[in-house]
Amino acid sequence: MADLQTIREGLARNLERIRNVQISAYMLASPVPPAIHVFPASIDYDFGMNRGLDIVHFTVEAIVAFGLDQGGQIRLDQLLAPTGMQSVKESLEMDRTLGQMVQDLRVERMSSYRVVTIPNQNDQALAANWLVRVHS
């Protein structure tokens, strides 16, 4: 199994094609929108014999400014699109083995489109989460 650090960094590398966004392989304590960060959601161990397969779910969260009603939603809609240069899904899946470090990955769904408060800033932002299933 690839370790969590390797998988996080691989997912963040895939996201780097999305321009003008702060991208982090680790949860950001004080993100500056627009930002995308990666963190583990769950691990299902031992799906293959003799530790042959673990399934790791990651949450990829995007945060955009919510200063204007429409602007932030339009920006987040671009990230939510299933295809295109701004698509989180397409970007994450452009190298499904993370440079041969995992067997496969798939973006399973987007959830949690919501308003959040950015820590240490008291600013409101829009956020959405994607669940990414990684076979390692």
The residue among 22, 33, 4 whose CA lies nearest residue 134 is 4
pLDDT the model gives residue 120:
77
pLDDT the model gives residue 18:
97
Report the chain's terminal Cα–Cα distance, integer Å. Answer: 5
Give a yes or no: residue 60 inside a domain: yes
Give a yes or no: residue 12 inside a domain: yes
Give a yes or no: residue 69 inside a domain: yes
Return per-residue pLDDT of the chain as tens, 136 residues.
Answer: 689 999 999 999 999 999 999 999 999 998 999 999 999 999 888 876 666 688 999 999 999 998 777 889 999 999 999 999 999 999 999 999 999 999 999 999 999 899 998 877 778 899 999 999 999 8
> Could you tell me the strand order of the sheet in which 55-65 lies?
22-24, 35-44, 55-65, 123-135, 104-118
Q: What pTM was computed for the model? A: 0.92
- Rounded Cα distance, 136 and 125, in Å: 33
For 14, the token pair is 């895939």
Task: Assess contact for 58 and 7: CB atoms under 8 A.
Answer: yes
Domain harbouring 107, CATH code: 3.30.2000
Give a yes or no: residue 64 inside a domain: yes
Q: Domains in the chain: how many in total?
A: 1
For 95, the token pair is 């190298």
E strand spans, the chain: 22-24, 35-44, 55-65, 104-118, 123-135
Host domain of residue 81? 4-113+131-135
pLDDT the model gives residue 123:
83
Compute the radius of gyration of the chain from its Cα atoms.
Answer: 15
Surface-to-core class of residue 118, CB atoms within 10 Å of its CB (0-12 exposed, 13-18 middle, 19+ buried): buried
